[in-house]
Amino acid sequence: MSQKAYITTPIYYVNDVPHIGHAYTTIIADTMARYYRLKGYETFFLTGTDEHGQKIEEAAKSRGKTPQAYADEISGKFRALWDEFEISYDKFIRTTDAEHKAGVQKAFQVMFDKGDIYKGEYEGHYCVSCETFFTDTQLVDEDKCPDCGKLTRLVKEESYFFKLSKYQEDLIKWYNSDEKCVLPKGKKNEVISFVKQGLRDLSITRTSFDWGVKLPSSMNDDKHVMYVWLDALLNYTTALGYGGDEKNMEFWPATMHLVGKDILRFHAIYWPAFLMSLGLALPKHVAAHGWWTRNGEKMSKSKGNVVNPKEVADAYGLENFRYFMLREVPFGQDGDFSQKALMDRINSDLGNELGNLLNRIIGMSGKYSNGVVNSKDVNTFHESELDAVEEILKNVENNLLELQTNRYLEELWKVLSIANQAITVHEPWVKIKEGKVEQALALVALVSNILARVSVLLHPIMPKTTTTIAKALGFEINTASYDKLVVRKTLLEEFTIEKVPPLFPRIEEPLMEQSAPVVEAIPTKTGKKEPKVESIITIEQFFETSLKIGTIVEANILEGSDRLLKLSVDLGEGILRQIVAGIREYYTPEALVNTQVCVVANLKPATIKGLLSEGMLLAAKDKEGLCLIRPENPRKNGASIG
């Protein structure tokens, strides 16, 4: 019987369209599914959408739609994006699927018959946004939700309860018996601390709205619908057929449940308790990742800084985006998205170290052996490099199994560094001149083999890129080549290298429109509104701006404009900068010549009224007018500010 792997994303709530956090979770899950398939595992990869609950019912009503029509629309956007991103899911589940509802109703009946569900009355605070109940002591000021900060609603209604408290000690035993059942370790400790404070029985039905899964008909209690988290969590079993034909239940238990840190409590406490009640095996790993910010700032629609994953992939390439997401941040920690960081990864990691290595192999093999590469002398001349590669790779896959994708990629890039360094040290071009052809060709073969092994291991993250590299090196990436190159460490047979275009063209300028700072008026204690600048930058971001002292050598009125002056500014560069400035209302050309100003020197050139402007003057402006910012005492042209 073949080994099996079951990988899941959370099912995404259809209250909004996909964002970068959804993409991050899904790309990690896709990477793990591709990895297990590469190793020869029979793999089932699940994703989908969560479509029930009061929040969806109210969102649909506010848009003049039925809940089903609204859910169809948003769910369709998720599925369309994952298809465009070539996410290799085996099933896309929706909680509005008839098969899912039947499975949830069966599970409810099983838990009720076992005595784990009882009827009572619930009174407490409910957050519609988080679909979560809270006690008085858990709330923050003015009855606000401790998770999202929104006002809760006081709810008093008849409810069925799940005996969560019954499973408190069993949960603790599970955490203690399996070191990696919850990843990363810090998140697991948070879960254990929460459980040890004491678990209360969980309200699992509602009567105040109708958009949800009804109770089993045998209960004769149609006014109740199931609490959205009971309904949603059971998708991981109903997707495999629980409550129906159960044809895929052989994949249970889940190898990996991937979730965001905000829903870890539901997946690491409620979910295993439900499974214990149902008599089903617990998942092998529940893994929680962090959130993404943009340029150090929390994303929000009001700030206009939400990252659209499709926009990034369209601009920079999907596989480059996948690499960046998995390399940039340690799993479990919050990550920051910026175009500069993405460009650096593409130009440095991918372009200089990976793409350039393939280009060098193509160039050298073409010159030295008409593109023919043979590994027969690699062991003779390069045993030390092969040993160094083995030392790095012997434990590298453990990083991936624990979802430390950044560490996994760092280790693979160390291997690429061995290959690049070998070319520098052994100088095959010199050996060709000295007549040491065998040694030169052995070096080319060494680098080819290193690149081949890295390509196989990189394949789950960048499948198309690595397929291109493998084709150039005369092999296919599949389970057989994984076994040959990674497991058995066999070298490539003789092949003729195939030329391919550069994989990672250098990116010089941002390819997406930069988000502008947002100024928001906020109430003061007096009730008046004052502007609050919401865009915060780091000291590193500040120092990316080049501010310099310059002297205005020439100033002229720009014909056809009553606002602009054309300036020639000396920044000590040996040539004059042309800067078009909107200061004519406040300064005459004569008053500016031979005076010093402060210039933003590394601003992207712009065309203004048909003229190239190569910088910007710093100025202050208020109701009194505009005033240029100048050095207190004369300074050398080009002197830095800051």
Which pLDDT band holds residue 384 (cuts at 50, 70, 90)? Answer: very high
Q: What is residue 538's predicted lDDT score, i.e. its pLDDT?
A: 60
Give the strand pairing for 205-206 and 225-226: antiparallel
Q: How distant, in Å, are the alpha carbons of 76, 108, 408, 464, 506 from that of 360?
A: 44, 62, 25, 20, 16
Which pLDDT band holds residue 529 (cuts at 50, 70, 90)? Answer: very low
Residue 375 gets which letter from DSSP?
-
Q: If 0-12 CB within 10 Å is exposed, 13-18 middle and 19+ buried, where does residue 617 land?
A: buried
The reply to whether 130 sits in an annotated binding site is yes
Fold of the 338-496 domain:
Isoleucyl-tRNA Synthetase; Domain 1 (1.10.730)
CA distance 276 to 240: 18
Check residue 268 and give left, alpha or beta (phi > 0: left; psi -120 to 50: alpha). alpha
> Six-digit token pair at 35?
């990895």
| Sign of the alpha-carbon dihedral angle for 449, 450, 454, 455 | negative
The reply to whether 145 sits in an annotated binding site is yes
Q: What is residue 157's predicted lDDT score, i.e. its pLDDT?
A: 87
Q: What is residue 124's predicted lDDT score, i.e. its pLDDT?
A: 76
What kind and span of H or E run contains 437?
helix 437-458
- Are 624 and 532 contacting, i.e. CB atoms less than 8 angstroms apart? no
Q: What is residue 1's predicted lDDT score, i.e. its pLDDT?
A: 64
CA distance 407 to 400: 8
Q: If 0-12 CB within 10 Å is exposed, 13-18 middle and 19+ buried, where does residue 438 land?
A: middle
CA distance 289 to 157: 35
Which pLDDT band holds residue 531 (cuts at 50, 70, 90)? Answer: very low
Q: If 0-12 CB within 10 Å is exposed, 13-18 middle and 19+ buried, where does residue 585 land?
A: exposed
Q: What is residue 208's predicted lDDT score, i.e. its pLDDT?
A: 87
Express each pLDDT in 177-236 by its tens digit. 999 999 999 999 999 999 999 999 999 999 988 999 999 999 999 999 998 889 999 999
DSSP calls for 554-605: EEEE-TT-SS-EEEEEE-SSSSEEEEEES-TTT--HHHHTT-EEEEETTSPP
The reply to whether 148 sits in an annotated binding site is yes
| Sign of the alpha-carbon dihedral angle for 100, 106, 112, 118 | positive
Which pLDDT band holds residue 523 (cuts at 50, 70, 90)? Answer: very low
Over 90: is that where the pLDDT of 156 sits? no
- Tell me the CATH class for 545-628: mainly beta
CA distance 577 to 615: 8
As a whole number, mean pLDDT of residues 446-466 equals 98
Express each pLDDT in 587-628 by its tens digit. 888 889 889 999 999 887 777 876 778 899 999 887 677 889
Residue 561: other Cβ atoms inside 10 A:
14
Q: What is residue 539's predicted lDDT score, i.e. its pLDDT?
A: 54
Within 255-404, where are the H helices? Answer: 264-265, 271-278, 309-316, 318-328, 339-344, 356-369, 378-381, 383-393, 396-401
Q: What is residue 518's predicted lDDT score, i.e. its pLDDT?
A: 42
| Sign of the alpha-carbon dihedral angle for 276, 277, 281, 283 | negative
The reply to whether 598 sits in an annotated binding site is no
Are the folds of 338-496 and 545-628 the same? no
As a whole number, mean pLDDT of residues 410-436 equals 97
Which pLDDT band holds residue 542 (cuts at 50, 70, 90)? Answer: low
Over 60: is that where the pLDDT of 525 sits? no
- Are 93 and 235 contacting, i.e. CB atoms less than 8 angstroms apart? yes
Every domain of the chain and the residues it spans: 338-496, 545-628
SS3 category, 334: coil
Q: What is residue 611's predicted lDDT score, i.e. its pLDDT?
A: 78
Express each pLDDT in 472-503 by its tens digit. 999 999 999 999 999 999 999 999 999 999 99
Express each pLDDT in 234-264 by its tens digit. 999 999 999 999 989 999 999 999 999 999 9
Express each pLDDT in 56-101 by its tens digit. 998 899 999 999 999 999 999 999 999 999 999 999 999 999 999 9
As a whole number, mean pLDDT of residues 295-323 equals 88
Which pLDDT band holds residue 516 (cuts at 50, 70, 90)? Answer: very low
CA distance 28 to 291: 14
> Six-digit token pair at 578?
């042309």
